[in-house]
Amino acid sequence: MTLDTLFMKRRHALAALASLAAIGSGLASAQGTAPSIVRIGYQKSSTLTAVLKTQGVLEKQLAPLGVKVSWHEFTSGLPLLEALNLDNLDFSADVADTVPVFAQAAGARLTFVAQEAPSPAAQAIVVKADSPLKSVADLKGRKVGFAKAAGAHYLLIAALEKAGLSLKDIEPAYLTPADGRAAFEKGAIDAWVVWDPFLSAAQRQSNVRVLADGTGIASYQRYYLAATRFAQARPDVLNVIYAELDRAGKWVKQSPKDAAALLAPVWGIDAATVEQANERRSYAVRPATAANIGEQQKIADAFFAEKLLPRKIDALDVALFKPGAGV
């Protein structure tokens, strides 16, 4: 089944729920008034958003604006952005750099609110420590596990290309991080491509070796997005969210042990693993400018060449939020 087919099926399913989910900001927008609820979608591993949610920061900071917060957890980035496009959400916590290109190809009207600066070492291709594979070139003919359409997918494409290979030269195994870990440990795959904190967990709990990370080939930048409708209606809310994300990112880097202690029970991972994973993420929140999002075009072109995207896109043809706007 192709990704665009999956998009359509998910979109129809979400559309059927739209009438039930059209609360808060969606209703207010339809009535022509400023939304009084911001519906935030996130994944369990959305680090900075997890910090804000756990500490209750946004609720406090948005109260003077008369805005409440509604939280909605998703298991992956693609359905999260589809919900955003279908007006079932207003704001999305960070998603991998590969996810927005699929949303663009599906015609989503999304606004890039912020970007985390590159964290290339936060995802890697790993093999078991005693594996005979010594380089990416050795992956030829081997079975490699990774999550389809994730940042790990692009890392693998870019790493193979640098080694003179392509996805046609390996046997792909599309696996979620949990399934990938299980397959890797029982030897069902020869290599595994994954990101933090799953990467750090594997390194600390299993005998693994990094074959290659993203350094020099895949920047791994994560994006925060909003429904364009909401961005136009409540730039004041986005300014608050942007400022708090920036503050949270600096706190995580300046107080690594405190951050790990806060996030460990949220993620269900030990604090030492969380701290290791956080060391490799920049958490440097910055505006999503045309100059900063240039790699998105490379990702889009690579996925189109692999027939993963249904059409070519101009990755720069997006709405970009400017922090401070509307103040």
Q: Which amino acid is at 73?
A: E
Query: Which of 32-46, 81-95, 179-193 is predicted least confidently?
Result: 32-46
SS3 175: coil
The answer, yes or no, to whether residue 27 has pLDDT greater than 80, is no
Query: Which of 13-17, 278-282, 310-314 is predicted least confidently?
Result: 13-17
Question: pLDDT tens, 161-171?
Answer: 999 999 999 99
The answer, yes or no, to whether residue 294 has pLDDT greater than 70, is yes
Whether the Cβ atoms of residue 112 and residue 225 lie closer than 8 Å to each other? yes
* Better-predicted residue by pLDDT, 63 or 27: 63
Distances (CA, A) of 213 to 149, 155, 156, 194, 216: 17, 8, 9, 10, 9
Whether the Cβ atoms of residue 120 and residue 155 lie closer than 8 Å to each other? no
Question: pLDDT tens, 208-236?
Answer: 999 999 999 999 999 999 999 999 999 99
The answer, yes or no, to whether residue 254 has pLDDT greater than 70, is yes
Average pLDDT, the chain: 89
Nearest of 29, 179, 130 to residue 192 by alpha carbon: 179
Chain mean position to CA 145: 18
The answer, yes or no, to whether residue 326 has pLDDT greater than 60, is no
Query: Which of 32-46, 241-255, 256-270 is predicted least confidently?
Result: 32-46
Domains of the chain (ranges; CATH) run 3-118+221-268+284-320 (3.40.190.10), 120-213 (3.40.190.10)
Query: Which of 107-111, 215-219, 252-256 is predicted least confidently?
Result: 107-111
pLDDT for 325 equals: 65
Q: What percent of the chain has pLDDT over 90?
A: 80
The C-alpha atoms of residue 114 and residue 322 are separated, in whole angstroms, by 9
Q: At a CB cut-off of 8 Å and minimum separation 6, what does 62 contact?
A: 38, 68, 69, 237, 240
The C-alpha atoms of residue 29 and residue 96 are separated, in whole angstroms, by 28
Neighbours of 252 (CB within 10 A): 22
Question: pLDDT tens, 80-104?
Answer: 999 999 999 999 999 999 999 999 9
Q: Which amino acid is at 82?
A: E
The answer, yes or no, to whether residue 31 has pLDDT greater than 60, is no
pLDDT for 13 equals: 40
Query: pLDDT class for 78, splitting at 50, 70, 90?
Result: confident
Q: What percent of the chain has pLDDT over 70?
A: 89
SS3 92: strand
Nearest of 287, 284, 290, 293 to residue 325 by alpha carbon: 287
Query: pLDDT class for 327, splitting at 50, 70, 90?
Result: low
pLDDT for 77 equals: 85
pLDDT for 278 equals: 97
Q: Structure tokens of 323?
A: 């922090």
pLDDT for 33 equals: 67
The C-alpha atoms of residue 45 and residue 319 are separated, in whole angstroms, by 26
The answer, yes or no, to whether residue 14 has pLDDT greater than 80, is no
> Which residue in this structure is represented by tokens 């990112």?
249
Mean pLDDT of 128-150: 96
pLDDT for 194 equals: 96
